Amino acid sequence: MIICFKKYLLSILFILIIVPVSHSKVVVFDRVTTVQTPINIRVQTRDRFFSAGGRTVDIYLDNTFLKKILTGGDGYGYLKYTPREQGFKKITARSYTDSASGQILVMNENEKAIIIETEGAFKDAVLSVEIRESSQKAVTSLSENYKIIYLSRFLGKTLIGSWLEKQNFPKSVILSWRGPKTLENLKKNGVQLHAIIGSAVVISAVKEQIEKRFSFEKTKYGKTVKDWDEIVELLLKSPPSRSNADKSFDQGE
């Protein structure tokens, strides 16, 4: 009951501070892959909150037309794409008079990513200007050495994206949490996962998939940290010996 109330309160706080968002009839899902690793561009057509299939959608890559597709009965449509160079690729989907955009983050195989579960990592930043500024500064610092991948459990890409943009966080893709499978798909696409920052629930779910796990909540499946400065220090300083690192994370210190 307490957990559900916290989730509800967090959602309300986010919604209150974010500018109103229109309900688009087209959705483009963010993706992450590596150079020369194919993925499916995924879009969805809706009738407000519900899926609406059988609609034609024009797909554009960085404003260059790629192909016209037809969404299925479940409202989803797919287009295979193989990126040839690293960077962010803008995907735009247009269906009749509606349009929406998303991003594909294309990484080199030798680059490493840090996953940030937004509801778990930024929940205190909603209420505190000091924590918000500290977290923004920390993520910006981390983005100079790693690729940042945001993860949303409840609120979705539109709301989270609006808040991140408003608070001047580094721009990047926002993936929907689908359990451990989310990280499995990233690894299948060749993405090297260096660390994850989030709630105790998410940390526990991915304990077998990623070694460096940080949370502001008490957890035995990762390292509980007191603030963002501690995370930056741990991730940007020279890494400790393998045995000490494993012991620290296994004990959830």
Q: Which domains, and CATH codes, for the chain?
A: 26-107 (2.60.40.10), 112-250 (3.40.50.1000)
Q: Which of 72-81, 102-111, 137-146, 238-247 has the lowest mean pLDDT?
A: 238-247
Residue 222 has pLDDT above 60, yes or no: yes
Q: Name the nearest CA neighbour of 116 among 9, 37, 242, 210.
A: 210
Give the mean model confidence (pLDDT) for residues 28-36: 97
Q: What is the tens place of the pLDDT at every residue in 109-136?
A: 999 999 999 999 998 888 888 999 999 9
CB-facing half-sphere around the CA of 187: CA atoms within 13 A: 12
pLDDT grade, residue 105 (50/70/90)?
A: very high
Tokens 């994370």 sit on residue: 249
The whole-chain average pLDDT of the chain stands at 87
- How confident is the model at residue 52, as a pLDDT? 83
Give the mean model confidence (pLDDT) for residues 142-160: 94
DSSP string, 179-194: TBHHHHHHHHTT-EEE
Cα–Cα dist 215/228, whole Å: 10
Residue 39's beta-bridge partner residues?
81
pLDDT grade, residue 17 (50/70/90)?
A: low
Q: What is the tens place of the pLDDT at every residue in 87-102?
A: 999 999 999 889 999 9
